Amino acid sequence: MSELLDNEIKFLPGVGPKRAELLESEAGISTFRDLIYYFPYKYVDKTRFYTVSELDTDMQHVQLRGKIRRFSAEGGGKGKRLTADFYDSTGMVRLVWFKGHKWVLNTYKTDREYIIFGRPTLFSGAFNIVHPEIEEVEKKAARVSSALEAQYSTTEKMKDHFLNSKGVSKLLATVFSQPTLRLAETLPVSITGSMKLMSLADALFRIHFPDSNSDIENARFRLKFEELFYIQLNLLRYKDSRTKNTRGFLFSVVGERLNTFYATRLPFALTGAQKRVIREIRADLGSGHQMNRLLQGDVGSGKTMVALMSMLIGADNGYQSCLMAPTEVLAIQHFNSIGRFIEGIDAEAALLTGSTKKSERARIEKGLLDGSIDILIGTHALIEENVRYSNLGLVIIDEQHRFGVAQRAKLWQKSECPPHVLVMTATPIPRTLAMTLYGDLDVSVIDEMPPGRKPIKTMSFTDADREKVFGFLRRQIEDGRQIYVVYPLIKESETLDYKDLEDGLESMARAFPPPQYCISVVHGRMTSKDKDISMNLFRRGQAQIMVATTVIEVGVDISNASVMVIESAERFGLSQLHQLRGRVGRGADQSYCILMTSHKRSTEASERINTMIATNDGFEIAEADLRMRGPGDLEGTQQSGMAFDLKIADLGRDGQILNLARSRATEILADDPELAGSGNHLLKVNLRRLFGKKYSWSDIS
């Protein structure tokens, strides 16, 4: 399209090689287009002029118009400063500079009229403005600018080369003044007209140079809508074409295995939510289309049972299933519990992980090929190239946020006809995020806990209370309960973290000495055999305390454990804290989550801790997390394979715009699924421009 937009930024007048390099490395701006899409993060209102007599200490910023009467150098040494008396018709304020005195004196004159801008502070009875922005009235009139001044984030390095916010704004003015600039509309009239959207060209100009607050609002709305709309259109189009063009295995019967299991092995009554979800899954499996379903259910809501019953339906129809867990510990646990559940059922399960022995692996490979293994449980190893199935019909992915669209698409390659896919997650994903990250999936929710669970009590303590906490733990152990103590483990500081764990373990061992107490330890540096031994020690109740890193975060299920102590809790994110807490509260006893935090903690850390204390509801926590951190930091979103570098929309705040975008996209595809109509040609072109390279439905259909 417009060639000018694709020009390298160094060709923009006023940029040059050095600044071009900085724009690229510091702000990711390498073309004219990138610059235009470098949106301001806020605006400073310069619509209003104040007079000196109106000044008030509450004012954040004021703009005054007047003249400098007198400069004077004051103080000495470190307190040396230059001041200027600035007058308008109502009075005087003192302008103050702590550096750059020579420059100020050379630049500003006592006879000219200036507009000054800054924050007034009261100092020894007079208003001061420290390091004000100053501009000559005449020059300001000549500059392309607007009353609401856009503010751009820039780095120190950029500022050193006059690429401060004003500098960026100047470059933008230059781009917009290029006579050959064309900003072709990217939405069809059917949308811009009916929704009364600003044109793209206007929106892009006004977002940088607004004349009024309503300009900003309209420009933002238009750009946010467009951003979200194309993501939704892409996802829905993808979903649509996949459903139409890919056959799915037909699981038509509910046979002997599921029925026998239901009648003889199911140890509890299913919750209403579990029943509903299983019905939804059965309908998918029996539709002849490939299932692509996301199952959300808070920690402990009983997703494994849903997975198992789905896999038994697979086996009843002669298909193999695999269940993929994020860690080996979890895979082993799934294998053990599923093994117990299906005792006496004519279904064979096997476990395959990175540390499966060669001979066992050979046995499994054979069993997969000759069809004698019905259910394969494991880690990523399951979907590696060299694992071959005779007829893989169902893939279940447990707790893998990383499984975005692109990764799931890879599964297709495993067999001619794609297996059904069920993605399970206990990290409740806020609706807006789910619609974007998993927008091509159908969603089921288990919103009901198995009966008899008591809400977990959450408390926070600092080191000063450690003895008190230990006393509490001893009483819990006397009552026969078990305890987890978890230390953070963050990749960047792994070595330090292990030191924390070791120190912690030592102090635990002093406070809970053998033979009265037994502590088991699990962390990522142990061999899987040692991990296994430790896990079993705790699972069988021989160890009362388990000290661990976050390897136990997801899914570990020991119902007698009733206390979760999280060390350095301020270092964990909200969703991780919630996941960890979910390890307890699985039995009928009152459970506790104890957050140990350091004395000093950031406001944000306090907010997280308080949120944890205030609610047990995973969705509420996820929403709070999204608000506090933004989607970029939410677990797994970076690697999701989705276009997540949203330039302007904010999934934490723009839920309503997202809904609008999704429903417009749905309407359009309902009328014209192939986007073949001439009115929709523009949509097709832009989809290809935006997503063509990332992944495309045409690869799959």
Binding residues vs ligand ADP (CB under 6 A): 268, 270-271, 274, 297, 299-305, 426, 450, 555, 557, 559, 586
Phi and psi angles of residue 92, each rounded to the nearest 5 degrees, phi first: -130, 140
Q: Which is nearer to Mg ion, 422 or 657 (CB)?
A: 422
557 makes contact, choosing from Mg ion, ligand ADP, none, with CB < 5 to 8 Å by partner type, with: ligand ADP
Burial 343-369 (b: 16+ CB within 10 A, else e): eebebebbbbbeebeeeeeeebbebbe
450 makes contact, choosing from Mg ion, ligand ADP, none, with CB < 5 to 8 Å by partner type, with: ligand ADP
481 makes contact, choosing from ligand ADP, Mg ion, none, with CB < 5 to 8 Å by partner type, with: none
302 makes contact, choosing from Mg ion, ligand ADP, none, with CB < 5 to 8 Å by partner type, with: ligand ADP
Q: In this structure, how many other beta carbons lie within 10 angstroms of the beta carbon of residue 495?
A: 7
Q: What is the closest distance, in whole angstroms, from the C-beta atom of residue 305 to ligand ADP in the complex?
A: 5
Q: What is the closest distance, in whole angstroms, from the C-beta atom of residue 592 to ligand ADP in the complex?
A: 18
The vertex-258 CA angle with 254 and 259, nearest 5°, equals 85
The residues near 527 (Cβ < 8 Å, ≥ 6 apart) are 355
Q: Which is nearer to ligand ADP, 208 or 303 (CB)?
A: 303
Phi and psi angles of residue 479, each rounded to the nearest 5 degrees, phi first: -80, 5
Residue with tokens 């939405």: 187
Q: What is the closest distance, in whole angstroms, from the C-beta atom of residue 397 to Mg ion in the complex?
A: 12
Q: Which is nearer to ligand ADP, 309 or 612 (CB)?
A: 309
301 makes contact, choosing from ligand ADP, Mg ion, none, with CB < 5 to 8 Å by partner type, with: ligand ADP
Q: Which is nearer to ligand ADP, 22 or 342 (CB)?
A: 342
Q: Which is nearer to ligand ADP, 348 or 557 (CB)?
A: 557
Q: Which is nearer to ligand ADP, 151 or 559 (CB)?
A: 559
618 makes contact, choosing from ligand ADP, Mg ion, none, with CB < 5 to 8 Å by partner type, with: none
**Is residue 311 within 8 Å of residue 394, measured between CB atoms?**
yes
Q: Which of 254, 193, 246, 255 is nearest to 222 (CA)?
A: 193
616 makes contact, choosing from ligand ADP, Mg ion, none, with CB < 5 to 8 Å by partner type, with: none
What does the DSSP assignment read for 415-427?
A: SSSPPEEEEEESS
447 makes contact, choosing from ligand ADP, Mg ion, none, with CB < 5 to 8 Å by partner type, with: none
Q: What is the closest distance, in whole angstroms, from the C-beta atom of residue 586 to Mg ion in the complex?
A: 11
- Write out the residues near Mg ion by the rule CB under 5 A: 555
- Residue 230 token pair: 């194309």
274 makes contact, choosing from Mg ion, ligand ADP, none, with CB < 5 to 8 Å by partner type, with: ligand ADP
643 vs 128: CA distance, rounded Å:
47
Q: Which is nearer to ligand ADP, 272 or 480 (CB)?
A: 272
Q: What is the closest distance, in whole angstroms, from the C-beta atom of residue 615 to ligand ADP in the complex?
A: 18
Q: What is the closest distance, in whole angstroms, from the C-beta atom of residue 385 to Mg ion in the complex?
A: 27
Q: In this structure, how many other beta carbons lie within 10 angstroms of the beta carbon of residue 654?
A: 21
Q: What is the closest distance, in whole angstroms, from the C-beta atom of residue 426 to ligand ADP in the complex?
A: 5
Q: What is the closest distance, in whole angstroms, from the C-beta atom of residue 561 to Mg ion in the complex?
A: 15
Q: Which is nearer to Mg ion, 205 or 538 (CB)?
A: 538
238 vs 242: CA distance, rounded Å:
6
271 makes contact, choosing from Mg ion, ligand ADP, none, with CB < 5 to 8 Å by partner type, with: ligand ADP
Q: What is the closest distance, in whole angstroms, from the C-beta atom of residue 631 to ligand ADP in the complex?
A: 24
* C-alpha distances in Å from residue 69, one per residue of 105, 115, 547: 13, 14, 71
270 makes contact, choosing from ligand ADP, Mg ion, none, with CB < 5 to 8 Å by partner type, with: ligand ADP
39 vs 223: CA distance, rounded Å:
10
**Is residue 578 within 8 Å of residue 618, measured between CB atoms?**
yes
297 makes contact, choosing from ligand ADP, Mg ion, none, with CB < 5 to 8 Å by partner type, with: ligand ADP
Alpha helix locations (H) across 600-696?
Answer: 603-614, 618-629, 655-671, 681-691
Q: What is the closest distance, in whole angstroms, from the C-beta atom of residue 544 to Mg ion in the complex?
A: 24
Q: Which is nearer to Mg ion, 23 or 332 (CB)?
A: 332
Q: Which is nearer to ligand ADP, 12 or 305 (CB)?
A: 305
488 makes contact, choosing from ligand ADP, Mg ion, none, with CB < 5 to 8 Å by partner type, with: none
Based on C-alpha coordinates, what's the Rg of the chain? Answer: 31
Q: What is the closest distance, in whole angstroms, from the C-beta atom of residue 280 to ligand ADP in the complex?
A: 16
Q: What is the closest distance, in whole angstroms, from the C-beta atom of residue 266 to Mg ion in the complex?
A: 17
Q: What is the closest distance, in whole angstroms, from the C-beta atom of residue 424 to Mg ion in the complex?
A: 7
Q: If you ran DSSP here, which 8-state letter would residue 289 be given?
A: B
Q: In this structure, how many other beta carbons lie within 10 angstroms of the beta carbon of residue 431?
A: 17
* C-alpha distances in Å from residue 405, one per residue of 325, 410, 429, 695, 696: 18, 9, 16, 8, 10
308 makes contact, choosing from ligand ADP, Mg ion, none, with CB < 5 to 8 Å by partner type, with: none
Q: How many CA atoms lie within 13 A of 590 on its CB side?
A: 4
Q: Which of 421, 437, 425, 376 is nearest to 632 (CA)?
A: 437
Q: Which is nearer to ligand ADP, 556 or 566 (CB)?
A: 556
Q: Which is nearer to Mg ion, 404 or 555 (CB)?
A: 555
Q: What is the closest distance, in whole angstroms, from the C-beta atom of residue 587 to ligand ADP in the complex?
A: 9
Q: What is the closest distance, in whole angstroms, from the C-beta atom of residue 449 to ligand ADP in the complex?
A: 9
Residue nearest to Mg ion (CB): 555
Residue nearest to ligand ADP (CB): 302
505 vs 568: CA distance, rounded Å:
14
590 exposure class (CB count in 10 Å sphere: 0-12, 13-18, 19+): middle
Residues β-bridged to residue 350 = 376
Q: Which is nearer to ligand ADP, 582 or 655 (CB)?
A: 582
Q: Which is nearer to Mg ion, 296 or 680 (CB)?
A: 296
Angle between helices 303-316 and 272-285 (to 10 degrees): 30
175 vs 245: CA distance, rounded Å:
45
* C-alpha distances in Å from residue 603, one per residue of 65, 344, 574, 581, 610: 39, 55, 14, 22, 10
Q: Which is nearer to ligand ADP, 154 or 301 (CB)?
A: 301
The vertex-265 CA angle with 263 and 266, nearest 5°, equals 80
268 exposure class (CB count in 10 Å sphere: 0-12, 13-18, 19+): exposed
268 makes contact, choosing from ligand ADP, Mg ion, none, with CB < 5 to 8 Å by partner type, with: ligand ADP
Q: What is the closest distance, in whole angstroms, from the C-beta atom of residue 333 to ligand ADP in the complex?
A: 9
Q: Which is nearer to ligand ADP, 164 or 336 (CB)?
A: 336
The residues near 384 (Cβ < 8 Å, ≥ 6 apart) are none
E strand or H helix at 117: strand 113-118
300 makes contact, choosing from Mg ion, ligand ADP, none, with CB < 5 to 8 Å by partner type, with: ligand ADP
